[in-house]
């Protein structure tokens, strides 16, 4: 499972002493080849954490031999000393991994509180400990070590009948652009593909998966999604089948992240149909998904479709107000911009809530996943850094 499901990878997850509670907090994933192809997608936030700046540089070379990930600290907004800390982490990993590894090919990812330096003594000795614990069965432990406010660890695997595998792990409680705790994802594959092909599959997959989950509208400084290719299966995959496998793993992990979102009690699937363009559909879906009032209403199991229309009205998408239709869990409560079926028919007792907004302006569509806004979210995020 996880990042060691595909051949050619070893991983470890250990407690390095970065977290004050003594929990697992450092993961190492190593690509043993024969290939060391890699692709990466990073946060769009212009304030980027040191490990994001570092890893973006590493990815430019198109080769990644290992990834060091830590929870317990984001190493964001830490200036030049924070960047030096990331660099030292990669150097240490190269040193302990030995032959065939150099710091310039080692990616680093961090998650936790912004604005504090990492305890580097713990990090560096942890890298050594993790290297000693590397195993072809270590994927699960690595997935556990990157958790912050996650209540469960998240892994997914797709195995192709053609003989190759895509597996991965994720942590996060929000979107690709999530919340306090960032989304970190490492995917691995033993399919035999060069970096440009991995990059194409990864970008195409994230565009309709991680980029369409939106827990709280807050874009992290640390989001990182990496795809490493070992080529160890010796199989060159069919491009379409491989792209679909990467998409499926991303979709699965993304859904797990939404399901585990901080304080959430409902998963909300916002589908926008009848849009003039996919961009319109996505803009409208995101506006609905980010509406705090609607998210509170869903928490209260209240089919308050007026808040859906109000959210649609703030977008620049093509639509006429009197041609909007909204269904909640299959009941068309708003028809032609006004009252439709009886709202009392809507059953919202279950965790998944489906909202469909029909713009009556075309044939394009998009799905955004989000969650409800709860008092638990407020409690969890009021007390995080103190």
| Binding-site sequence positions for substrate | 148, 171, 182, 262, 381, 386
Site string for its own copies, 246-285 (x = CB under 8 A): ----------------------------------------
Nearer to its own copies, 34 or 115 (CB): 115
Please state, in angstroms and rounded to a whole number, the distance separating the CA atoms of residues 6 and 112.
28
Q: Using CB under 8 A, which residues numbered 100 to 139 contact its own copies?
A: 113-117
CB of 294 to its own copies, least distance (A): 8
Q: Tell me the window of 62-70, 160-168, 215-223, 351-359 that interacts with its own copies (CB under 8 A).
A: 215-223
* Residue 74 interacts with its own copies (CB under 8 A): yes or no: yes
Interface with its own copies, residue 345, by CB under 8 A: no
Rounded Cα gap, residues 270 and 355, in angstroms: 5
Per-residue buried b or exposed e for 140-169, using 16+ beta carbons within 10 Å of the residue's own CB: bbbbbbbbbbbeebbbbbbebeeebbbbbb
Hey, what are 3's tokens?
């990042």
Active-site residue, from 86, 149, 182, 221: 182
DSSP one-letter string for 279-312 = HHHHHHHHHHHT-HHHHHHHHTT---HHHHHHHH
Q: Work out which of 3, 134, 297, 359 binds its own copies, going by CB under 8 A.
A: 297
Which of residues 98, 161, 349, 383 is near its own copies by CB under 8 A?
Answer: 383
Contact between 306 and its own copies (CB under 8 A)? yes
Q: What strands lie across the sheet with 9-14, from one edge to the other?
A: 9-14, 26-31, 66-70, 106-110
Angle between helices 278-289 and 305-312 (to 10 degrees): 130
Report CA 261 to chain centroid distance, whole Å.
11
Q: What are phi and psi of 346, to 5 degrees?
A: -80, 125
**DSSP type of residue 166:** E
Q: How far apart are CA 162 and CA 292, in angstroms?
A: 46
Residue with tokens 């942590």: 171
Q: How far is the CB of 145 from its own copies (least distance, A)?
A: 22
Q: Which of 337, 354, 364, 367 binds its own copies (CB under 8 A)?
A: 337
Q: Is 329 in the site for its own copies (CB under 8 A)?
A: no
Number of residues that bind its own copies (CB under 8 A): 68
Give catalytic status of residue 209 as yes or no: no
47 near its own copies, judged by CB under 8 A: yes
Encoded one letter per residue, x for contact with its own copies by CB under 8 A and - for no contact, window 159-188 reads --------------------xx--------
Q: Does 152 bind its own copies (CB under 8 A)?
A: no
Interacting residue with its own copies among 300, 342, 351, 352 (CB under 8 A): 300
Separation of alpha carbons 88 and 309, rounded Å: 51
How far apart (Å, rounded) are the C-alpha atoms in residues 236 and 190? 9
| Contact residue for its own copies among 77, 194, 248, 367 (CB under 8 A) | 77
Residue 378 binds its own copies, judged by CB under 8 A? yes
By rule CB under 8 A, what string of x and - marks binding of each residue 1-40 to its own copies?
----------------------------------------
Measured between alpha carbons, how far is 95 from 359 in angstroms, rounded to an integer?
57
Nearer to its own copies, 140 or 341 (CB): 341
Whole-number Å distance between alpha carbons of 236 and 164: 8
Residue from 180, 14, 177 nearest 111 by CA:
180
Residues 6+ apart with CB under 8 A from 257: 154, 170, 172, 173, 174, 175, 178, 183, 213, 215
Annotated binding site: 148, 171, 182, 262, 381, 386
Q: Which of 140, 217, 244, 341 binds its own copies (CB under 8 A)?
A: 217
313 binds its own copies (CB under 8 A): yes
When binding is defined by CB under 8 A, the residue of 290, 346, 359, 368 that contacts its own copies is 290
- Strands 325-328, 165-171: pairing is unpaired
> Least separation, in Å, of the C-beta of 25 and its own copies?
19
Residues contributing to the site for its own copies (CB under 8 A): 44-48, 74, 76-79, 81-82, 113-117, 179-180, 216-221, 290-293, 296-297, 299-302, 304-307, 309-315, 319, 321-322, 324, 334, 336-339, 373-375, 377-386
**Active centre residues (catalytic):** 182
């Amino acid at each position: 499972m996880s990042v060691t499901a595909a051949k050619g990878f070893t991983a470890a997850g250990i407690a390095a002493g970065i977290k004050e509670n003594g929990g697992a907090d450092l993961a190492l994933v190593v690509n043993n080849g024969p290939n060391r192809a890699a692709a990466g997608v990073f946060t769009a936030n212009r304030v980027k954490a040191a490990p994001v700046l570092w890893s973006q540089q590493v990815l430019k070379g198109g080769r990644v031999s290992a990834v060091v990930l830590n929870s317990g600290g984001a190493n964001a907004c830490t200036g030049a000393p924070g960047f030096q800390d990331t660099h030292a982490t990669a150097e240490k990993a190269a040193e302990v991994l030995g032959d065939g590894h150099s710091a310039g090919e080692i990616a680093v990812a961090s998650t936790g509180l912004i604005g504090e330096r990492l305890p580097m003594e713990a990090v560096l000795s942890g890298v050594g400990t993790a290297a000693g614990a590397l195993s072809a069965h270590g994927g699960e432990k690595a997935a556990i070590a990157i958790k912050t406010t996650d209540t469960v660890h998240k892994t997914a695997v797709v195995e192709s009948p053609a003989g190759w595998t895509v597996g991965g792990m994720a942590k996060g409680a929000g979107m690709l652009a999530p919340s306090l705790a960032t989304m970190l994802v490492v995917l691995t594959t033993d399919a035999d593909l060069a970096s440009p092909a991995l990059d194409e599959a990864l970008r195409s997959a994230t565009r309709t998966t991680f980029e369409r989950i939106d827990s709280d509208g807050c874009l992290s400084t640390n989001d990182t999604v990496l795809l490493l290719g070992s080529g160890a299966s010796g199989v060159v995959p069919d491009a379409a089948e491989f792209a679909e496998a990467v998409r499926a793993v991303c979709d699965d992990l993304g859904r797990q992240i939404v399901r585990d979102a901080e304080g959430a009690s409902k998963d909300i699937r916002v589908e926008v149909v009848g849009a003039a363009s996919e961009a319109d559909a996505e803009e409208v879906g995101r506006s609905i998904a980010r509406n705090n009032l609607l998210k509170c209403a869903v928490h209260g199991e209240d089919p308050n479709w007026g808040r859906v229309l109000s959210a649609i009205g703030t977008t620049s998408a093509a639509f006429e107000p009197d041609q909007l239709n909204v269904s909640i869990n299959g009941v068309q409560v708003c028809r032609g911009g006004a009252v439709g079926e009886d709202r009392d028919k809507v059953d919202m007792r279950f965790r998944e809530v489906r909202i469909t907004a029909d713009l009556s302006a075309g044939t394009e569509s998009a799905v955004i996943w989000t969650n409800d806004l709860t008092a638990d979210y407020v409690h969890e995020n009021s007390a995080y850094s103190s």
